[in-house]
Amino acid sequence: MEYVELGKSGFKVSVIGLGTWQIGTRLWGWGKDYNEPDAVATVRRAIELGINLIDTAEVYGGGRSEEVVGRAVADRRDEVFLATKVWISNLSYERVIKSAERSLRRLGVDAIDLYQVHWPNPLVPIEQTMRAMERLVKEGKVRCIGVSNFSVEQLKRAQEALSSEEIVSNQVEYNLLNRKIERDLLPYARKEKITIIAYSPLAKGILTGKYAPGNVPRDLLRRVDVLFSSENLKRAGKLLEVLRNIAERRGKRIPQVALNWLIREPTVIAIPGAKRPEQVETNAGAAGWRLTDEEIMEIDHASSSFKPERVRSYASLLLRLLKLW
């Protein structure tokens, strides 16, 4: 495994982390094929492979994800860097403090290594949220402060709202099918030395190459996601072909190539969600080697020519929903 400094915190985190949204999520059917022993085995396998960054959130599975992660790391606390998030409706001063205390209890730890604001909330002044975050750091309950889904402007305001601490990371969607952050957020993060934690780095599984038109997972979340429309899966085909060829040439797997492309940039680390130890093993294998400049160019070219259809027609959406019932 490779490690980089998280922002300017002095803490080292693995370039490939583990996302645990999948744990405990039932609502959208995503976690239907997933159980607690699998989840614990996945987290523990990740640690064995040198993955230290484990990302969860108070909202994942209504707290279940934090509980399962806490149980899975209980005897290996020193080897992990635990990241969790405070939900958008809990950003007032008192609520941040209460949420952090609940997360600490569920995780079974004395301190959260990285506490992130899950989404910006325009109804709550960021100064209030950040004041609470700083209090948590002073009390030793939080080690680093991060945000998630923040634009450059929101990030600047959040930084200004802090008096003694710095924001070390911004967790945002970044993958070969969604490169929006390259316009302004990524250059800003590079300049400010703020780590970008890339979520959905495998585009919810599309960049593993296992899904194709007519072969889509049955969970509601992905069924209603326009990225999983037959048209978009067809359009992603060209990029997947390039990833497949490179993977074959280099003796790697498709998701490893897709993740390696992300972590080519020192400011970026990725937190693929894995449901089973085999998936985490594959994902960990994205680190420890480098794509060549030619390969990066080839991937860049194929990914830039991916133009997704943006809206699925309501009729097709309705049909899909009906099929689920």
Q: Which residues bind ligand NAP (CB under 6 A)?
A: 19-22, 55, 118, 148-149, 171, 199-205, 208, 210, 217, 255, 271-275, 279, 282-283
Query: Can you tell me the distance from the alpha carbon of 284 to that of 19, in angstroms, rounded to the nearest whole number?
Result: 12
Output the six-digit token pair for 138.
Answer: 């002073």
> How many residues does the structure list for the chain?
325
Q: Are 165 and 145 in contact (CB under 8 A)?
A: yes
Eight-class DSSP state of 144: E
- Minimum distance between the CB of residue 87 and ligand NAP, rounded to whole angstroms? 10
Burial, 296: exposed, middle or buried (Cβ in 10 Å; 0-12, 13-18, 19+)? middle
Smaller CB separation from ligand NAP, 270 or 302: 270
Smaller CB separation from ligand NAP, 135 or 154: 154
- Minimum distance between the CB of residue 126 and ligand NAP, rounded to whole angstroms? 17
Query: Can you tell me the distance from the alpha carbon of 100 to that of 129, in angstroms, rounded to the nearest whole number?
Result: 12
- Minimum distance between the CB of residue 286 and ligand NAP, rounded to whole angstroms? 9
Which member of 3, 34, 60, 174 is catalytic? Answer: 60
Q: Are 283 and 19 in contact (CB under 8 A)?
A: no
- Minimum distance between the CB of residue 257 and ligand NAP, rounded to whole angstroms? 12
Return the number of other C-beta atoms located less than 10 Å from residue 104's C-beta.
21
Is 60 among the residues known to form the active site?
Answer: yes
Residue 61's φ and ψ, nearest 5 degrees, are 60, 25
- Minimum distance between the CB of residue 122 and ligand NAP, rounded to whole angstroms? 16
Q: Are 110 and 132 in contact (CB under 8 A)?
A: no
Q: Are 112 and 143 in contact (CB under 8 A)?
A: yes
Q: Are 1 and 16 in contact (CB under 8 A)?
A: yes
Smaller CB separation from ligand NAP, 200 or 303: 200
Query: Can you tell me the distance from the alpha carbon of 36 to that of 39, in angstroms, rounded to the nearest whole number?
Result: 5
- Minimum distance between the CB of residue 178 and ligand NAP, rounded to whole angstroms? 10
- Minimum distance between the CB of residue 163 and ligand NAP, rounded to whole angstroms? 25
Q: Are strands 12-14 and 18-19 parallel, antiparallel or unpaired?
A: unpaired
Eight-class DSSP state of 214: T
Q: Are 35 and 29 in contact (CB under 8 A)?
A: no
DSSP run (H or E) holding 308: none
Query: Can you tell me the distance from the alpha carbon of 3 to that of 282, in angstroms, rounded to the nearest whole number?
Result: 17
Closest residue by Cα to residue 115 from 151, 162, 178, 45 = 162
The residue sitting closest to ligand NAP, measured at its beta carbon, is 19
Catalytic residues: 60
